[in-house]
Amino acid sequence: MPKKIYRGNGKLLLFGEYAVLDGAKALAIPTERGQTLEVKPHRGSDLIWEAYDVNGEPWFEAQISLYDFSSIRTSDDKTSKFIQKLLKGAVRYNTEFLNNWNGFKVINRLEFSRHWGLGSSSSVISNVAQWADVNPFHLHFYVSNGSGYDIACTGASGPLTYQLLDDQLSYEEIDFEPGCLDNIYFVYLGRKQSSGDAIIHYTQKAKKRKSLAKQISVVTEKALKAKGLSALRAVIDEHETIISTELGLEKIKDQHFADFDGSVKSLGAWGGDFCMVATDQSATEVKSYFNSKGLDTVISYDEMCLSYKPELEKAVVA
C-alpha cells in the first residue's frame, strides 16, 4: 500500500467543562493546530510507532507486535499501553484491520506543544479511527472516560456545541460570533493537568451533578446568544462562579490575576493548560500583562480557532 496521511484538529472547551460529562450542553472550538498520522508499509510483521513534537524532535517510539499487540520495545511504557489499547479497540470494531500481519511504520507529528493540552490524545484516536475505518467515538469510549467533545472537534470545520445524553451524543457546528472575538485571548498557564485526574476530582466533589449540568447548559446558551464584550464577560464570570462553588476550587483570576482588567476563565481541567481571557485591552497590553506574570504564550482567538466554514454540519451518534 502507498503511504497515507490522516489528520485531526486540536480542541478547546470554552464552556461546559466537567458538567459536559453529565449532559450539559458545551461550546467547543477546533484549533488551527492539530496532529497528523502517516502510515506506510514496513518490513516484518510488527508496527513501528514514532512520535515527533512540534519542533520535529522525537519524543516517543515503540515496536509493537501485530500478533498479540504486546510491546517489544518502547521509550515510554504508559504511552505504549495506550497505543496497544487503541489498536485493540480498532480491531474490535473492524476485525479486518491489521488482520494480515503486514508490518507498518506509523509517524505522528504534532503541530502544537505536547504540553499544551490541546488534544494530542484525541487527535491520535481520531487518526487511528480514520486509518482503521471505524467510528472515532466508539474508539474514544473504548480507551477513555472523557465526554467525547474533543473527538467531535478533531474533524470539525469551526466552533460547535456538544451534548452527551443517556442514549446518544449530538453535536452541531455553529457560527459563534458574539461580536467581540478580537477581544478574546488564550493564555498557556504552563501547568499541564491530567484530564483523568480532573474527572475523578469532579465525580468525588460534585454532589448535584445533574442539577449542575442543567445550570451549565443555561450558561452555554447565554454564551451563544451573547452580543458584545460586556455580555460575554458576564457569562464567563457566571460560569466561573458556578464551577468554583460546586467543586470548591478557587477561580483562576482570584488566584493569580486579581488585578487584571478583564474576565479570565479556566478551560478544561482547572488549574492548568490554557485559560480564556476577555478584555477590551489591546493585544500589546494583554501580552505585556501576562508576560509580566511569566506567561509567554498568549494566542488570539483568530490564531487559535480553526476558521469557520459556512457549511454547517449536524451529527447524531447512537
Q: How far apart are CA 4 and CA 41, in angstroms?
A: 10
What per-residue confidence (pLDDT) applies to 316? 39
Fold of the domain built from segment(s) 181-304:
Alpha-Beta Plaits (3.30.70)
Q: Where in the chain is the domain with CATH 3.30.70.890?
A: 181-304
Share of the chain above pLDDT 70, in %: 91
Of residues 101, 110, 97, the one with CA closest to residue 64: 101
Q: Which three cell numbers stand for residue 105?
A: 511504520
Helix (H) or strand (E) holding 47: strand 46-52
What per-residue confidence (pLDDT) applies to 315? 40
What per-residue confidence (pLDDT) applies to 268? 77
The answer to whether the CB of 16 falls within 8 A of the CB of 240 is no
Q: Where in the chain is the domain with CATH 3.30.230.10?
A: 4-173
The answer to whether the CB of 137 falls within 8 A of the CB of 74 is no
Q: Encode 211-231: b = buried (16+ Cβ within 10 Å), e = exposed.
A: ebbebbbebbebbbebeebeb
Share of the chain above pLDDT 90, in %: 79
Model pLDDT for residues 90-132, shown as the tens digit of each residue: 999 999 999 887 899 999 999 999 999 899 999 999 999 999 9
Q: Which architecture does CATH list for 4-173?
A: 2-Layer Sandwich (3.30)
Q: Which three cell numbers stand for residue 29?
A: 472550538
Calculate ∠ Cα 296-151-271, nearest 5°.
Answer: 35
For residue 307, pLDDT over 80 is answered with no
Of residues 8, 185, 24, the one with CA closest to residue 112: 8
Model pLDDT for residues 180-219, shown as the tens digit of each residue: 999 999 999 987 655 666 666 666 666 677 889 999 999 9
HSE-up of residue 19 (Cα within 13 Å, Cβ side): 28
Dihedral class, residue 228 (left if φ above 0, else alpha if ψ from -120 to 50, else beta) = left
Residue 63 main-chain phi, psi, to 5 deg = -120, 120
What per-residue confidence (pLDDT) applies to 187? 96
The answer to whether the CB of 55 falls within 8 A of the CB of 42 is no
Q: Which three cell numbers stand for residue 54?
A: 512540534
The answer to whether the CB of 26 falls within 8 A of the CB of 16 is yes
Residue 198 contacts by C-beta under 8 Å, 6 or more apart in sequence?
Answer: 18, 268, 269, 270
